[in-house]
């Protein structure tokens, strides 16, 4: 077994995954509330190799293969940008400290399952439902919010209370604290969900204090220049590992050619 070739191939696979994550980050850099993905590398046991000088199985040594590990940077907030649209909301995390729960809006998917998002680009449809730009209902105390009327000036207070023409609508936008955000899995449209939404152990609770900024949206936390720099690093590392495999292939070819043309 040629360990260097296996390590180079494993590295190329991990680097390809990293490149996909970078491409996804760059493509969603302008999506409100999007959370960038990050790849780290870990060594996993690839197998055992015997010592050439000692055939004793106890003398075998382990060799390590690099693998990619993905995570989402949920604890890093984007900048808050003013839009002036009354139904746009941003969660203000200025007082966030490491270890604090992360607040999300809760929405209802088409299948009735719950998902979580930081994208507060909401609007009201013709039936009075407060929805995301992809049509998912936004949660209030009684479930997805349905306003009693669809006309009139809508105002949402920093506490989430919804007023229409200066009068209370009886509805409010809630935020939900996730105490173990690492258990959330990214979905389409900037949404996150637990792998088992019906698990009673899912660490999510209604926020004690709602910290909203009406008329604002949270930008993504993607740093495009940083991602472009990483992309260049990934490409160079991929090419380096590719050259390792090509060099090994050339050596094997030379050996086979030499065996096929013995010199006496």
Chunked in runs of 10, what are the mean pLDDT values of the chain (264 residues)?
A: 75 90 92 91 67 57 76 89 95 81 92 91 93 94 87 90 91 91 86 79 80 93 94 92 82 73 60
Q: What is the total residue count of the chain?
A: 264
The predicted structure's pLDDT at residue 11? 86
- pTM summary value: 0.78
The predicted structure's pLDDT at residue 214? 95
Q: List the structure tokens of 253.
A: 């070819």
Q: Report the candidate in 218, 192, 178, 187 with the shortest Cα–Cα distance to residue 82.
A: 218
The predicted structure's pLDDT at residue 49? 59
Classify the C-alpha dihedral 98-101-107-110 as positive or negative: positive
The predicted structure's pLDDT at residue 61? 63
The residues, any chain, with a CB within 8 Å of residue 208's CB and separated by 6 or more, are 177
**Residue 12: how many other CB atoms lie within 10 Å:** 19
3-state class of 80 per DSSP? strand
What does the alpha-carbon distance between residue 221 and residue 8 come to, in Å, rounded to a whole number? 32
């Amino acid at each position: 077994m040629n360990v260097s070739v296996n390590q180079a191939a494993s590295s190329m696979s991990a680097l390809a995954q990293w490149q996909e994550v970078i491409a996804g980050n760059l493509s969603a850099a302008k999506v409100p509330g999007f959370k960038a993905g990050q790849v780290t590398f870990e060594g996993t046991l690839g197998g055992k190799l015997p010592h050439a000088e000692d055939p004793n199985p106890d003398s075998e040594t382990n060799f390590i293969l690099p693998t990619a590990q993905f995570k989402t940077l949920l604890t890093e907030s984007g900048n808050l940008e003013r839009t002036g649209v009354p139904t746009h909301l941003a969660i203000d995390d200025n007082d966030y400290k490491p270890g604090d729960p992360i607040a999300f809006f809760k929405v209802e998917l088409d299948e009735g399952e719950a998902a979580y998002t930081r994208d507060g680009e909401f609007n009201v449809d013709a039936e009075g439902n407060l929805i995301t730009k992809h049509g998912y209902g936004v949660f209030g105390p009684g479930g997805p919010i349905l306003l009693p009327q669809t006309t009139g000036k809508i105002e949402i207070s920093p506490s989430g209370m919804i007023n229409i023409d200066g009068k209370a609508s009886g509805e409010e936008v809630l935020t939900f604290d996730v105490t173990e955000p690492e258990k959330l899995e990214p979905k389409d449209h900037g949404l996150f969900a637990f792998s088992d939404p019906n698990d009673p152990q899912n660490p999510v609770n209604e926020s004690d204090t709602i910290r909203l900024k009406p008329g604002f949206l949270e930008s993504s936390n993607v740093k495009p220049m940083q991602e472009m720099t990483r992309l260049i690093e990934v490409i160079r590392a991929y090419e380096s590992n590719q050259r390792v495999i090509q060099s090994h292939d050339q050596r094997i070819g030379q050996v086979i050619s030499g065996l096929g043309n013995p010199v006496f």
